[in-house]
A and B are shown apart, each in its own frame.
Chain A
């Protein structure tokens, strides 16, 4: 197929309509929806409001509670671990603190556990992929902290709590708001290169749902810059990390206290028994489960393993009946499908436009409402179909240079410009095509302000947890979340291990869980956790033999 400026002719024909009406569209303003109208479009198009998206789980401590189908499927499955193959009398690692997950939360937890007295060789981070392969690395926009004179932690608290539709756990929202300035200070000490004014004060922007400008950023690579610094610190300290070795199940002792886990070397397929006085779950989100059938912004390993393992030992989950879909995922060209195009593009004035060249929604509705409006427009047949059959909405990025002057797109959206330039598209000249994408797991394993779960010995931090954001997370609070609660998990786990005595290790709870699944007559055909998504070609899979 012949492409001109990165687009086939038929898409350029639609772009022509966008261009012809651009000046008119710039003047035309669409009013924000009323609360009733918002509710109507959400109810009709947002997956959180669809009965088909979720169901009540039939097994385990949350029996009867609703979660997204993709998560319930895993909870209603037997364990991937055949316990009869594991010899618990041979301990491979006898340590104080096991940290499951080498992303932001896990690495921060390790640093603070070390600082609070856990010995270096008594800490172990296990991670499924490489150290730092995590959603933490991918966050672009920024991190919130109320540090300007016009702002305060109580104002931040109110934003967090209202943004979560008043469903957050108050003590967790409080921890976020109050710890935030100290976290940024810690980043300064590490050497994070935040965007600053000449006088050293931070360039702070506003975000959806925030009442003060408190978004600290490092270009549009904020998550990467934070993770690079935090990981470099961990490497300099020689914090032990076991890469390509996901934990597949947690261990309990004879008192029912979490006492480590069974790691699986994903390359050699051998297992390791890890006995630990405290365990921190920091496995991140579940984008790669493609809940409600959405593409995702998440990294390859985001398969919700921590939810499953924690549930198997009896930890309760919460708020997994909601997910955050982001309106402006990329949908063209194919290589960037699901990847995020930052909210800043609309912030700078680009409007969403349909196939006929017409605007149809106020550009800065909350993420859930904006997404639902895009889905509705595509459902009406007003989307633009890509060469591989996918619907999308134009985001008219050339409007930005008309509003703010030539060169603004290149200057303010350098990362985005680089992404599209790889495929011959100049977003200052032509609009880009977007469609909603699954971005964040709002809920998870319930914790308290000490990061303790319902099961003794098990702590949790980061995207795997529930309660911090309630049923909706605000922009800029996920990077803050992993720092605040990673730190707290490290500190409180360090205190916990001082008095902990581990009894006889056991996997009997897995056998019991499997039995409960069987007795409930559940036949998902899956074993959980799944560890990696299955993306192999269907034709190749259909002919695969299980010989080696």
Chain B
């Protein structure tokens, strides 16, 4: 079955004249293909006839499956990008990174404490950071990777968690690091330690869970479950809307 890409579908929905699209040369692992301008790197590779099995996930910049390394034929610099979030350009030599070999530490979060050396003891290699900043330069999310590693090294778990929050775990940092640090795993530990031990927990939630477990809402909910659609519609239409009430009160 041929389904259509998001791009193709949208193109068909309007009869308006489509302006001529120019063609570009791209090199998929060294092989040249002519593709239309305006596509993502991912869509361009598909246009060329490839069906992704690896290196393709959410297609929206959240999952880190489509890390791409490229160099343009007239450039020295090696670039890092997400194939689903980057427009294809003429002369790109592209390679998709299908997998990142980077073992993570094994731990049960409930057995740990959020102490100065917690991260260092599980990931001692962070002490080898030479502050070259290559990790930061290879991050497609523009996260200050070296900074959060330095924070982790100093034992500032909360700051490491905050700086790394937008990490999509593509692993490009770990692929480039001359000190063999697995940054994105370090960041995962920092965030879990912060969420569990450093941030103040909710008292309202604790109370509500106890109420539910104590059966406080059982009668009320069973009544609702037993109601006819008409009764429920009546109740539904009479609901007080908190957001609206606040607005009126202002």
A129 to chain B, nearest CB (A): 6
Does B202 contact A196, Cβ atoms closer than 8 Å? yes
**Most chain-A CB neighbours within 10 Å: which of B3, B38, B142?**
B3
Residues of A within 8 A of B5 (CB): 533, 535
Size bracket, chain B contacts:
35 or more
Interface residue total, chain A, C-beta cutoff 8 A: 116
Residues of B within 8 A of A267 (CB): 53-54
Residues of B within 8 A of A405 (CB): none
The B-contacting residues of A in range 513-531, CB under 8 angstroms, are 525-526, 530
Encoded as 1 (CB less than 8 Å from any B CB) or 0, chain A from 177 to 197 comes to 110011011001111111010
Residues of B within 8 A of A295 (CB): 6, 9-10
Q: Which of B50, B62, B199 contacts A224 (CB 8 A)?
A: B62
When C-beta atoms are compared, the residue in chain B nearest to A538 turns out to be: B2
B37 to chain A, nearest CB (A): 8
**Most chain-B CB neighbours within 10 Å: which of A149, A266, A387, A388?**
A388
Count A-B pairs with CB separation below 8 Å. 295
B40 to chain A, nearest CB (A): 4
Q: Confirm or deny: B25 has a beta carbon within 8 angstroms of a beta carbon on chain A.
A: no
Q: Confirm or deny: B208 has a beta carbon within 8 angstroms of a beta carbon on chain A.
A: yes
Given A206-B243, A335-B85: A189 in contact with B3 (beta carbons within 8 A) = no
Does A138 contact B60, Cβ atoms closer than 8 Å? yes
When C-beta atoms are compared, the residue in chain B nearest to A237 turns out to be: B108
Q: How far is the CA of A422 from the CA of B192 in the complex (A)?
A: 29
Encoded as 1 (CB less than 8 Å from any B CB) or 0, chain A from 418 to 451 comes to 1100110000000000010100000000000000
Does A133 contact B57, Cβ atoms closer than 8 Å? yes
- The stretch of A81-89, A151-159, A455-463, A496-504 in contact with B is A151-159
Does B193 contact A191, Cβ atoms closer than 8 Å? yes
Q: How far is the CA of A188 from the CA of B229 in the complex (A)?
A: 36
Encoded as 1 (CB less than 8 Å from any B CB) or 0, chain A from 326 to 343 comes to 000001011111111000
Q: Which of A133, A211, A526 contacts B242 (CB 8 A)?
A: A211
Encoded as 1 (CB less than 8 Å from any A CB) or 0, chain B from 6 to 20 comes to 110111111011110
Residues of B within 8 A of A155 (CB): 239
Interface of B is mostly: loop
Does B49 contact A154, Cβ atoms closer than 8 Å? no
Residues of A within 8 A of B195 (CB): 188, 190-194, 229
Residues of B within 8 A of A334 (CB): 7, 38-40, 43, 87
When C-beta atoms are compared, the residue in chain A nearest to B1 turns out to be: A526
A490 to chain B, nearest CB (A): 18
Does A331 contact B107, Cβ atoms closer than 8 Å? no
Residues of B within 8 A of A289 (CB): 3
Q: Confirm or deny: A235 has a beta carbon within 8 angstroms of a beta carbon on chain B.
A: yes
Given A158-B236, A190-B192, A389-B16: A244 in contact with B54 (beta carbons within 8 A) = yes
Closest 4 CB pairs of A and B: A540-B49, A200-B200, A191-B192, A191-B196
Q: What are 16 A-B pairs at a CB distance below 8 A?
A: A147-B202, A147-B209, A152-B220, A157-B224, A162-B233, A182-B212, A189-B110, A193-B199, A290-B9, A300-B59, A334-B7, A334-B87, A338-B10, A530-B1, A535-B3, A536-B47
Instruction: List residues of A whose CB falls within 8 A of some B CB.
Output: 1, 73, 129-130, 132-133, 135, 137-138, 145-150, 152-155, 157-159, 161-162, 166, 170-171, 174, 177-178, 181-182, 184-185, 188-194, 196, 198-202, 206, 211-213, 218-219, 221, 223-225, 228-229, 232-233, 235-236, 238, 244, 266-267, 288-290, 293-297, 299-301, 331, 333-340, 378, 383, 385-391, 415, 418-419, 422-423, 435, 437, 525-526, 530, 532-538, 540-541, 544
